[in-house]
Amino acid sequence: MDFFIDQLGLLSDGFSVALSLQNMLFLLFGVGIGILVGVLPGLGAANGVAILLPLTFGLEPVTAMIMLTATYWGALLGGSITSILFNIPGEPAALPTTFDGHPMALQGKASEAMALAFSSSAVGAMIGTLLLTFAASWIADFGLRFGAPEYFAIYLLAFASFIGMGGPDPIKTLISIMVGLGLSTIGLDTVSGDVRMTFGLLDLVKGISFMLVVIGMIGIGELLITMESNLELRGVAARMDPRVVLRTIISLPRYWVALIRSAAVGCWMGVLPGSGATIASMMSYGFARRFSANREAFGKGAREGVVSPEAADHAAATSAMLPTLTLGIPGSGTAAVLLGGLLMWGLQPGPMLFVSQPDFVWGLVGSMYLGNLTAVVVVLLSAPLFAAILRIPFAYIGPVILVICMIGAFAITMSLFDIYMTLIFGLLGYLFKKLDYPIAPLVLALILGDQAEESFRQSMILSGGGIGIFWESTLSKVLMTCAALALLGPALIKNRALITSHLRNRG
Amino acid sequence: MNSNVKGRFFSLAAMVSVAVCPLPAFADWAPENDIEFVATSKPGGGTDRFTRAIQSAIQNNGLVDQDIRVVYQGAANGTQGLVYIDQNAGDPHKLAFATSQVWMLPLTSDLGYDRNDLTPLAAMAFDEFIIWVNADRPYDTVEGLIEAARKDPKGIKVGGGKSKDADHVFTKLIEERAGVEVTYVPYKGGAEAAVQLAGGHVDANTNNPAENLAQWQAGKVVPLCVASPTRMADTGIVAQEKSWADIPTCIESGLDIESFRFPRTVFMPGDLTEEQLAYWQGVMEKVVETEEWQTYVTNSGLTSALKVGDDFDAFIEDSEGVGQQIFENAGWLKGN
Amino acid sequence: MLRLDFEIKRFAAELAFALFLLLIGVAAVTGALQMNVGWRDDGPGAGFFPLLVGLILCAACIVQIVITFKARRALQAPIFNGQAFQNLSGIVVPTALCAAAIPLVGIYVPAAFLLAYFVHRRTERAPLEIAAIAVAVPVALYVLFDLTLEIKLPSGWIF
Contact criterion met (CB < 8 Å) for A416 and C149: no
Sign, Cα dihedral of B260, B266, B272, B274: negative
Picking from B217, B167, B170, the residue whose alpha carbon sits closest to that of residue B187 is B167
Percent of chain C with pLDDT over 90: 21
Work out the average pLDDT over A393-405.
Answer: 79
Q: How far is CA A72 from the centre of its chain?
A: 12
pLDDT at A219: 77
| Subunits adjacent to chain C (3 or more Cβ pairs under 8 Å) | A, B
Contact criterion met (CB < 8 Å) for B195 and A351: no
pLDDT at C2: 59
Picking from A152, A142, A144, the residue whose alpha carbon sits closest to that of residue A459 is A152
Task: Provide the chain A residues 374-433 that lie in CB contact (below 8 A) with chain C.
Answer: 393-396, 398-400, 402-404, 406-407, 410-411, 416, 419-420, 423, 427, 430-431
Per CATH, which fold does B130-259 belong to?
D-Maltodextrin-Binding Protein; domain 2 (3.40.190)
Chain B residue closest in CA terms to C116: B1
Q: Identify the helix (H) or strand (E) that includes residue B133.
A: strand B130-134
Of the candidates C54, C87, C95, the beta carbon closest to that of A423 is on: C95
pLDDT tens track for A230-263: 665 554 545 667 788 888 888 888 888 889 999 9
Q: Which residues of B touch C131 (CB under 8 A)?
A: 2, 5
Domain of residue A170, residue span: 2-506
pLDDT at A120: 93
Bridge-based pairing state of the strands B157-161 and B94-98: unpaired
Percent of chain A with pLDDT over 70: 88
- The contacts of residue A182 (CB under 8 Å, 6+ apart) are A197, C24, C28, C50, C53, C54, C57
Of the candidates B44, B186, B215, the beta carbon closest to that of A339 is on: B44
Sign, Cα dihedral of A293, A299, A303, A305: positive
Q: Which residues of A touch B59 (CB under 8 A)?
A: 57
> Does C119 touch chain A if contact means CB atoms closer than 8 Å?
yes
Higher pLDDT, A445 or C154: A445
Whether the predicted pLDDT of A125 surpasses 90: yes
> Does B155 touch chain A if contact means CB atoms closer than 8 Å?
no
CB neighbour class for B61 (10 Å; exposed up to 12, middle 13-18, buried from 19): middle
Q: Which residues of B touch C133 (CB under 8 A)?
A: none
pLDDT at A261: 92
Task: Provide the chain A residues 293-352 that lie in CB contact (below 8 A) with chain C.
Answer: none
Contact criterion met (CB < 8 Å) for B69 and C152: yes
pLDDT at A491: 66
> Does B273 touch chain A if contact means CB atoms closer than 8 Å?
no
- The contacts of residue A490 (CB under 8 Å, 6+ apart) are A164, A290
Work out the average pLDDT over A285-292.
Answer: 84
pLDDT range class, residue B17, cuts 50, 70, 90: very low
Task: Provide the chain A residues 255-274 that lie in CB contact (below 8 A) with chain C.
Answer: none
* Range name among A163-167, A211-215, B184-188, B205-209 with the lowest pLDDT average: A163-167
- Chain B nearest-CA distance from A159, in A, is 21
- Chain A nearest-CA distance from B310, in A, is 31
pLDDT tens track for B220-238: 899 999 998 888 877 878 7
Q: Which residues of B touch A50 (CB under 8 A)?
A: 43-44, 72
pLDDT tens track for A295-307: 778 888 888 899 9
Q: Identify the helix (H) or strand (E) that includes residue B39.
A: strand B35-39
Work out the average pLDDT over C106-129.
Answer: 84
Sign, Cα dihedral of C146, C150, C156, C159: positive
- The interface predicted TM-score (ipTM) is 0.88
- The contacts of residue B174 (CB under 8 Å, 6+ apart) are B131, B180, B182, B206, B255, B257
Q: Are A163 and A285 in contact (CB under 8 A)?
A: no
* Range name among A63-67, A150-154, A198-202, B79-83 with the lowest pLDDT average: A198-202
Mean pLDDT of chain B: 83
Contact criterion met (CB < 8 Å) for A336 and B73: no
Distance between CA atoms of residues A501 and B266, nearest Å: 73
Q: Are B290 and B70 in contact (CB under 8 A)?
A: no
Comma-separated ranges of CATH 3.40.190.10 domains in chain B: 130-259
Chain B residue closest in CA terms to C43: B185
Angle at A473 between CA A469 and CA A479, to 5 degrees: 90
Whether the predicted pLDDT of B27 surpasses 80: no
> Does C95 touch chain A if contact means CB atoms closer than 8 Å?
yes
Q: Which residues of B touch A202 (CB under 8 A)?
A: 83, 111-112
Distance between CA atoms of residues C120 and C138, nearest Å: 17
Work out the average pLDDT over C64-91.
Answer: 86
Chain B residue closest in CA terms to A341: B44
Q: What are phi and psi of A414, to 5 degrees?
A: 55, 45
pLDDT at B185: 93
Beta bridge pairs of residue B98 = B265
Distance between CA atoms of residues B168 and B145, nearest Å: 17
Of the candidates C87, C103, C118, the beta carbon closest to that of A416 is on: C103
Q: Are A345 and A67 in contact (CB under 8 A)?
A: no
> Does C106 touch chain A if contact means CB atoms closer than 8 Å?
no
Of the candidates A187, A191, A352, the beta carbon closest to that of B76 is on: A187
Whether the predicted pLDDT of A129 surpasses 60: yes
Q: Are A368 and A133 in contact (CB under 8 A)?
A: no
Percent of chain B with pLDDT over 90: 27
pLDDT range class, residue A344, cuts 50, 70, 90: low
The total number of structural domains that make up chain A: 1
Contact criterion met (CB < 8 Å) for C117 and A399: yes
Amino acid at site A6: D
Of the candidates B42, B109, B215, the beta carbon closest to that of A336 is on: B42
Q: How far is CA B233 from CA A116, A391, B128, B226, B255, in A?
A: 57, 65, 11, 12, 20
Chain B residue closest in CA terms to C113: B1
pLDDT range class, residue A318, cuts 50, 70, 90: very high
Comma-separated ranges of CATH 3.40.190.150 domains in chain B: 30-127+262-330
Of the candidates B2, B16, B69, the beta carbon closest to that of C150 is on: B69
> Does B12 touch chain C if contact means CB atoms closer than 8 Å?
yes
Q: How far is CA A5 from CA A12, A256, B111, in A?
A: 11, 27, 57
Of these ranges, A403-417, B121-135, B287-301, the one predicted with the greatest mean pLDDT is B121-135
Whether the predicted pLDDT of B1 surpasses 70: no
Contact criterion met (CB < 8 Å) for B77 and A337: no
Q: How far is CA B309 from CA A22, A352, B27, B88, B139, in A?
A: 47, 42, 19, 21, 44
| Domain B30-127+262-330: CATH class, spelled out | alpha beta
> Does B96 touch chain A if contact means CB atoms closer than 8 Å?
no
* Range name among A354-363, B92-101, B115-124 with the lowest pLDDT average: A354-363
> Does A205 touch chain C if contact means CB atoms closer than 8 Å?
no
Whether the predicted pLDDT of A60 surpasses 80: yes
Of the candidates B71, B75, B198, the beta carbon closest to that of A207 is on: B75
pLDDT range class, residue A503, cuts 50, 70, 90: confident
Chain A residue closest in CA terms to C13: A435
Work out the average pLDDT over A354-378.
Answer: 85
Task: Provide the chain B residues 222-241 that lie in CB contact (below 8 A) with chain A.
Answer: none
pLDDT at B2: 47
